[in-house]
Amino acid sequence: MISGLHAQEMRTIKGSVSDGQNPMKDVHIQVQGREIQTFTNAGGKYEIQAAAGDFLKYSYTGMKDYIVRVEDVTRFLNLIMIPDVEELSEVTVTGSHRKSQQDLAIEYPTNPRIIRTAFGYLNADTAPGRVSLLSEEDINPVGLCILNVIRNRFAGVRTTGDCQQGGDIIIRGPGSVSNQRVAVYDVDGLILRDAPIWLDINQIKRIAIVSSVAYSSRYGALGNGGVIIINTLAGNPQDPKLKDLARLRNNYYKGDALREAQVQKDLPTYLTELNGTTSYEAALEVYNAHEGRYRSSPYFFLDSYRHFYDRLGEEAFASEIIESNFGRFEGNAVLMKALAYLYQEHGRHREALELYKEIFILRPHYSQSYMDLANAYRDVSQYDKAARMFFRYKYLVDENFLVASDNFSKIVQHESDNLLKLHVRDVGVNIDKILTDPYVDNTTRVVVEWNDTEAEFELQFVNPEGQYHTWKHTYAENDKRLLDEKMKGYSAEEQIIDRALPGQWTINARYLGNKSLTPTYLKVTTYYNYGERDQQKRVQAFKLSVRDVWQELLTLNNPGISRVR
């Protein structure tokens, strides 16, 4: 468990806090669990003593609290605080906490936590039991039917079937596949047994999953498997002026993301000069001219390695650059992970494995370390060791030595299942039958990982029809997710490309920084025909350094449903 770290040496953390334009004075900074605190000065700067594993809480009236985990590499933390809009809106609410149906009806157009059912309005925050809710902003409009929207969005929820033949959604009930109780559907007050696969996803306003028996019992025996409540735009007539307050779903990609060549103008001088060379001799001259000046920068050596390896094919000299300067990476998990990404992109799996071993030693309390090392063993065909790393992770979670995360556990489960399914004879473990997620198998699966846990960015997935959805890895939009990552030690996200939408997909990124002036590296692993015998994998590494602009990362060709299974 991360909170159970052994005592660490205290160190000085320095930084500054602003509102994005001006420095902020008197921001309160507290080391949680310790009697250590400070305030920013008139220039927004501060210093505080903390240890690796500590959490720093930044507070200022009217601004959203910011919680940052001190990493083993943390020395500087520069923050931009944002207004706490939710807190301000809550202050205006008066009267009893128990609201009438009339109150909820009035609040419905502007409160995404309220959904309309066949039995009246339901507030997800005060309803009996657990209610999981997606508002219009959270719904991925590129899906073809409700089954696509639900799958992989809710922990513990399974779907069966497809958008052509129909299927079921399973919220709760016995674990046996042959004895599952399926959910019933409440679409704008109309109660249905079968999944409304005919429903236009672009017309959905809100979706709620209700597993509570206390509420689903209103639906009689039909509600034994829980209820999927769906509100559509057409089914919720309101005053036109109120409708205009809702987010306009204008999610057609305009092709305005910068390509690699367009980003080149903002590169460091040494890299601009390297890219301007066409021969090994000329590039070597540039490298030697800048080496002394940038000797203290590991990013100079990463850029130089990549240039000589990728652009010039001088693999021996590229390797010599890293070997001669490895001391700048050693002991720093963030830098070693960036280098490991490049090694994996180049197919240098044994070198990557050695790095992941070192990172594991530095960060054995990070959940990510177990998946990284397991996958690195798999890349060098040491399938038994890979399987044992996955089993070790599960054991530590079961015994509460590591804290499980619904987000990350799903990714680890898919990786582990895939390993066992394709290499069961090589893992040295007697397993009778491998059960895998049917909606991940035979798809195009994209796994995005990042080396710096403080990185904030957005990813845009554009489908062949030009529509996109955006995943926001930002504190402003997704603070609970980012805090979950810090508490449980992971930095990965998974996206399943809809197999019913074949053709070219584009993935774009917008970098928002990492609380320092250093770049962040992304690793994007694309699996084709995932889980099948002809599964293929491609690893690509990307350096994010230019901030606040969309840039194109990659395009991929989604083959769709390639065969009848």
Could you read off the pLDDT of 477-524 as tens digits, one per residue?
Answer: 888 899 999 999 999 999 988 677 789 999 999 999 988 889 999 999
| Domain match, 315 and 340 both | no
| Domain match, 158 and 130 both | yes
Position 63 scores a pLDDT of 86
| Domain match, 387 and 534 both | yes
Q: Which pLDDT band, with edges at 50, 70 and 90, does 265 fall under?
A: low
Q: Which pLDDT band, with edges at 50, 70 and 90, does 330 fall under?
A: very high
| Domain match, 136 and 212 both | yes
**Domain presence at residue 134:** yes
**Domain presence at residue 65:** yes
| Domain match, 323 and 388 both | no
CATH number reported for the structural domain that contains residue 169 in this entry: 2.170.130.10
| Domain match, 472 and 367 both | yes
Q: Which pLDDT band, with edges at 50, 70 and 90, does 245 fall under?
A: very low
Whether the per-residue pLDDT at 90 is higher than 50: the answer is no
Whether the per-residue pLDDT at 95 is higher than 50: the answer is no
CA 298 to chain centre: 26
Domain count, the chain: 4
| Domain match, 214 and 294 both | no
Q: Which two tokens stand for residue 27?
A: 């921001």
Which stretches of 417-548 are assigned E, i.e. beta strand? 444-450, 456-462, 468-473, 492-497, 503-513, 520-528, 536-544
Which residue shows structure tokens 């809100």? 206
**Distance between CA 48 and CA 286 in Å, rounded?**
41
CATH number reported for the structural domain that contains residue 389 in this entry: 1.25.40.10
**Domain presence at residue 407:** yes
Give the structural domain span for 456.
329-558
- Of 353, 333, 357, which is closest to residue 343 (Cα–Cα)? 353
CA distances from 307 to 301, 310, 324 (A): 10, 5, 16
Say what the alpha-carbon torsion angle 518, 522, 523, 528 is, to the nearest 10 degrees.
-170
**Distance between CA 329 and CA 292 in Å, rounded?**
17
| Domain match, 114 and 196 both | yes
**Distance between CA 558 and CA 527 in Å, rounded?**
10
Written as one string, the DSSP assignment of 334-401 is: HHHHHHHHHHHHTT-HHHHHHHHHHHHHH-TT-HHHHHHHHHHHHHTT-HHHHHHHHHHHHHHHHTTS
**Domain presence at residue 18:** yes
Surface-to-core class of residue 188, CB atoms within 10 Å of its CB (0-12 exposed, 13-18 middle, 19+ buried): middle
Q: What is the pLDDT of residues 267-281, one digit of tens each?
A: 788 999 999 998 999
Q: Which of residues 296, 328, 360 is at a domain's end?
A: 328
**Domain presence at residue 234:** yes
Q: What is the pLDDT of residues 515-560, one digit of tens each?
A: 888 999 999 999 999 988 899 999 999 999 988 899 999 999 988 6
Tell me the residue type at 543: K
CATH number reported for the structural domain that contains residue 55 in this entry: 2.60.40.1120
Whether the per-residue pLDDT at 429 is higher than 70: the answer is no
Which residue shows structure tokens 């399973």? 170
| Domain match, 390 and 519 both | yes
Position 92 scores a pLDDT of 35
| Domain match, 322 and 357 both | no
| Domain match, 194 and 180 both | yes
**Domain presence at residue 94:** no
SS3 134: strand
Position 249 scores a pLDDT of 46
Looking at the chain, the whole-number percentage of residues with pLDDT higher than 90 is 50
Tell me the residue type at 254: K
**Domain presence at residue 248:** no
Q: Which of residues 283, 299, 328 is at a domain's end?
A: 328
Surface-to-core class of residue 31, CB atoms within 10 Å of its CB (0-12 exposed, 13-18 middle, 19+ buried): buried
Written as one string, the DSSP assignment of 60-92 is: -TTB--EEEEPPTT--B--EE--B-HHHHHHHT
Enclosing H/E stretch for 172: none
Q: Which of residues 62, 86, 110 is at a domain's end?
A: 86
Q: Which pLDDT band, with edges at 50, 70 and 90, does 142 fall under?
A: low
| Domain match, 322 and 346 both | no
The answer to whether residues 214 and 256 touch, using CB atoms and an 8 Å cutoff, is: no
- Of 255, 263, 201, 276, which is closest to residue 233 (Cα–Cα)? 201
Q: Is-above-0.85 flag for pTM?
A: no
**Domain presence at residue 202:** yes
